[in-house]
Protein backbone atom coordinates (compact mmCIF):
# COMPACT_ATOMS: atom_id res chain seq x y z
CA UNK A 1 0.00 0.00 0.00
CA UNK A 2 2.84 2.33 0.84
CA UNK A 3 4.35 1.78 -2.59
CA UNK A 4 1.07 2.58 -4.29
CA UNK A 5 0.67 5.76 -2.29
CA UNK A 6 4.18 6.85 -3.23
CA UNK A 7 3.50 6.25 -6.90
CA UNK A 8 0.33 8.36 -6.87
CA UNK A 9 2.16 11.16 -5.07
CA UNK A 10 5.00 11.16 -7.59
CA UNK A 11 2.53 11.16 -10.49
CA UNK A 12 0.66 14.12 -8.97
CA UNK A 13 3.91 16.06 -8.47
CA UNK A 14 5.01 15.33 -12.05
CA UNK A 15 1.57 16.39 -13.28
CA UNK A 16 1.96 19.79 -11.66
CA UNK A 17 5.56 20.14 -12.85
CA UNK A 18 5.50 18.86 -16.43
CA UNK A 19 1.83 19.21 -17.23
CA UNK A 20 2.84 21.17 -20.33
CA UNK A 21 4.81 18.21 -21.66
CA UNK A 22 1.86 15.90 -21.04
CA UNK A 23 -0.43 18.34 -22.81
CA UNK A 24 1.94 18.54 -25.75
CA UNK A 25 1.98 14.76 -26.00
CA UNK A 26 -1.80 14.67 -25.97
CA UNK A 27 -1.96 17.47 -28.53
CA UNK A 28 0.33 15.56 -30.87
CA UNK A 29 -1.90 12.52 -30.64
CA UNK A 30 -4.98 14.67 -31.23
CA UNK A 31 -3.32 16.35 -34.19
CA UNK A 32 -2.57 12.99 -35.78
CA UNK A 33 -6.18 11.90 -35.27
CA UNK A 34 -7.48 15.24 -36.58
CA UNK A 35 -5.34 14.95 -39.69
CA UNK A 36 -6.83 11.53 -40.42
CA UNK A 37 -10.32 12.86 -39.78
CA UNK A 38 -9.68 15.94 -41.90
CA UNK A 39 -8.62 13.76 -44.84
CA UNK A 40 -11.89 11.83 -44.63
CA UNK A 41 -13.86 15.04 -44.22
CA UNK A 42 -12.21 16.59 -47.27
CA UNK A 43 -13.08 13.47 -49.27
CA UNK A 44 -16.72 13.81 -48.20
CA UNK A 45 -16.72 17.50 -49.05
CA UNK A 46 -15.33 16.82 -52.51
CA UNK A 47 -18.16 14.35 -53.07
CA UNK A 48 -20.73 16.96 -52.00
CA UNK A 49 -19.04 19.48 -54.31
CA UNK A 50 -19.58 17.12 -57.24
CA UNK A 51 -23.24 16.85 -56.26
CA UNK A 52 -23.52 20.62 -56.02
CA UNK A 53 -22.80 20.72 -59.75
CA UNK A 54 -26.10 18.95 -60.36
CA UNK A 55 -28.06 21.41 -58.27
CA UNK A 56 -28.02 23.20 -54.94
CA UNK A 57 -31.52 21.98 -54.07
CA UNK A 58 -30.56 18.30 -54.44
CA UNK A 59 -27.81 18.78 -51.87
CA UNK A 60 -30.25 20.31 -49.39
CA UNK A 61 -32.79 17.53 -49.90
CA UNK A 62 -30.12 14.85 -49.43
CA UNK A 63 -27.79 16.19 -46.72
CA UNK A 64 -26.10 12.79 -46.36
CA UNK A 65 -25.73 11.02 -49.74
CA UNK A 66 -23.43 8.47 -48.10
CA UNK A 67 -26.41 7.23 -46.05
CA UNK A 68 -28.55 6.44 -49.10
CA UNK A 69 -27.24 3.53 -51.20
- Give the number of domains in the chain: 1
- 29 within some domain: yes
Could you report the per-residue pLDDT of 7-26, keeping only the tens digit for each? 555 555 444 555 777 888 88
Predicted local distance difference test score (pLDDT) of residue 34: 85
Q: Which residues contact 48 (CB under 8 A, 6 or more apart)?
A: 59, 65
- 47 within some domain: yes
Give how far the C-alpha of residue 31 lies from the chain's centroid of Cα atoms, to the nearest Å: 7
- 61 within some domain: no
- 37 within some domain: yes
Tell me how far CA of residue 42 lies from CA of 1, 19, 45, in angstroms.
52, 33, 5
Could you report the per-residue pLDDT of 29-49, keeping only the tens digit for each? 888 888 888 777 766 666 666
Domain enclosing residue 40, as ranges = 24-52
- 40 within some domain: yes
Return d(Cα 6, Cα 13) in angstroms, integer: 11
Report pTM: 0.29
- 1 within some domain: no
Tell me the residue length of the chain: 69
Amino acid sequence: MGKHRKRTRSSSSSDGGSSDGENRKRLKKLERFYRKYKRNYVRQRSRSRAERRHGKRSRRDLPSPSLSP
